[in-house]
Chain A
């Protein structure tokens, strides 16, 4: 409340260049099934990504939109990722936030079980994050229960989980059930 925040963004310039390079790489050389880029180039620190559900899994065929918010000191700190469609997955919170270790800064450990080696480092990139998310969609990690109901269902009632996943897939494609 009292005075100006002494918020430092001397890094914004280099973050911007790095994001530009990543955007360029993702455009010129896109991994199939993944599209990512700034929602609006007036703000290069907010991206939208479309992720195709991996084949052979219950999320197959769906196109899942997600929002990526980058900090001003990117790539020193990881971006935040949040699905903007409805999701039901053990590692995705009800509000769409994604819980994977690659997105956690080396300092914090919300779940208290990850080693720092699995966490964010500046050599990671948007592409690597999105590929990790694809593999997370394929193979949920039910140890880190961001969505406990989903984790339980994944363990105990797989057919029901798959049914819900298929419903979500249809929803993202705009196909009525």
Chain B
């Protein structure tokens, strides 16, 4: 692999490289200065040898009437003419660019993560590879100065796209954390804005170039790259804005955002920018292929591969969008928005996002969800998230009352029931017991008839009754009519009406225990002869320390600390319990042995 080889190349560190570059630059500046000292350097420059420098110096200072400005100008002109000097200048430009990149990285990103570095490297080599093919395969540039101009253009472009890629990666990383400080968002957004501005500037630049020097085709090549960069940057910025809007709501945790409006907005932002990028890229590649007449070359092969990939991506995206639209229209036709009463009745949160429901869609089984939550679930699966009722995506039941009537006459029978009963108290006293009934409905896709069947309600009620025999059946039935799910009713009983939901059971235990030493190392107390290294101090005998549980701090550092303490405490008390238990059993066996002997 070329990458492996490149990795092993001894690349000098930036410090060394900068030093060398500056040294070479100053050498060439000195050299040029020596030449320029002679006012007549333009005419006799070929005859001046470096060794004559000393002779010239004496004369130069004496009769040099040129101002410093003119002097510098001539110095520059000389350096541009000298082939050795121009390479040092180019080298210096790259060096400055690298330093600039490095300082931006330090300023905005700090230490790069491994994946970011990897992405950057991949992107860089891809970029170099494709631009090489473009310059030498497609444009077929012959002259050195043209190559240098294209190099300069692509260097600027590549630099900006690498930064933009880095911003994207970093944004994706930051979006995984709720506690990112505001200023790191601000810096990233600032950098994105700068990239956007520069890409617009470059667009203007190539428009200007199109006016004066280059052909329309060249303009199209250059413009396409700028547009791609710009659109990608805008895309990241928009996503960023949506994300910030979203998480600010989460941080407050009080103001429920209008999620329903946000969902489609985010979706269409994503869709349009992705499609724009793909379409522009596609056209760009087709343009390359057609313009250069390179059908029988390696370059055309590479471009065709890229075209194929882009085509598949576009196709995939459009298929996905079709699916989205289908689900949307299906939902609109089949699942009505829940009425205000229904919302009030089901006052709990949306089961998908756990947030409050201001408006919701109602599935035939009676479960309510946010519009967009339900939408994104139905795009990947066609069943009710709560009760697993299979939803038919093809049939439109509203439009076929006849079929509905026929179906509702046939007795509703579930083909296959999985009844999963979990009796937690068998394992740990506090664990709840619950049953989950799993229904496979294979009723020719009919979903309305199923939910309203009385016989099914009765069957469900019987199941609940088995678990809670002391509950009157009519209450269970009442609740089942609302929830239409055994699981939910049981949950209702456990949480709402039964006296002891599990958080209540813990409450008596939160007596003020003098519990501060959670990080005491085992071994500091030797209170028992039996393996004293693992004895836990007596102060640790309380239940979950009251200062740790039951509180959800607003500060992330505190939360982390509390979690850490709780974990340590859990481990310590588990260890203590284990040792106590085994000590008892050991002493019992020892006693038994003693009695025997």
Contacts and interface: CB of A to CB of B under 8 A. Distances in A.
Nearest to A36: B563
B552 A28 contact: yes
Contact of B578 (A3, A29, A61, A123): A61
A147 interface: no
What interface size band does chain A fall in?
35 or more
Contacts of B577: 61
A16 interface: yes
A1 B354 contact: no
Nearest to B563: A37
A16 B250 contact: yes
A90 interface: no
A123 B559 contact: no
Contacts of B250: 13, 16-17, 20
Nearest to A75: B352
Contacts of A76: 352, 376-377, 380
Given A13-B250, A35-B563, A50-B570, A115 B178 contact: no
Contacts of B578: 61, 169-170, 173, 175
A38 B506 CA distance: 24
Interface in B250-274: 250, 253, 259, 266-267, 269-270, 274
Contacts of B516: none
Nearest to A17: B250
Interface in A71-96: 72-73, 75-76
B146 interface: no
A11 interface: yes
B153 interface: no
A72 B168 CA distance: 15
Q: Which one of A24, A43, A116 has the greatest number of beta carbons of chain B within 10 Å? A: A116
B177 A43 contact: yes
Contacts of A29: 502-503
A61 B578 CA distance: 6
Given A13-B175, A135-B427, A4 B388 contact: no
27 contacts: A2-B305, A3-B281, A13-B250, A16-B175, A17-B249, A17-B250, A18-B354, A23-B559, A27-B551, A28-B551, A32-B430, A33-B430, A35-B570, A41-B177, A41-B556, A41-B560, A42-B179, A52-B428, A55-B428, A56-B427, A76-B380, A116-B383, A122-B373, A135-B422, A169-B578, A175-B575, A175-B579
Given A28-B552, A118-B418, A118-B420, 19 more contacts: A1-B126, A4-B168, A7-B172, A10-B269, A24-B552, A32-B430, A32-B502, A35-B566, A37-B559, A37-B563, A42-B179, A50-B571, A63-B570, A76-B352, A107-B380, A115-B416, A121-B386, A134-B428, A174-B522
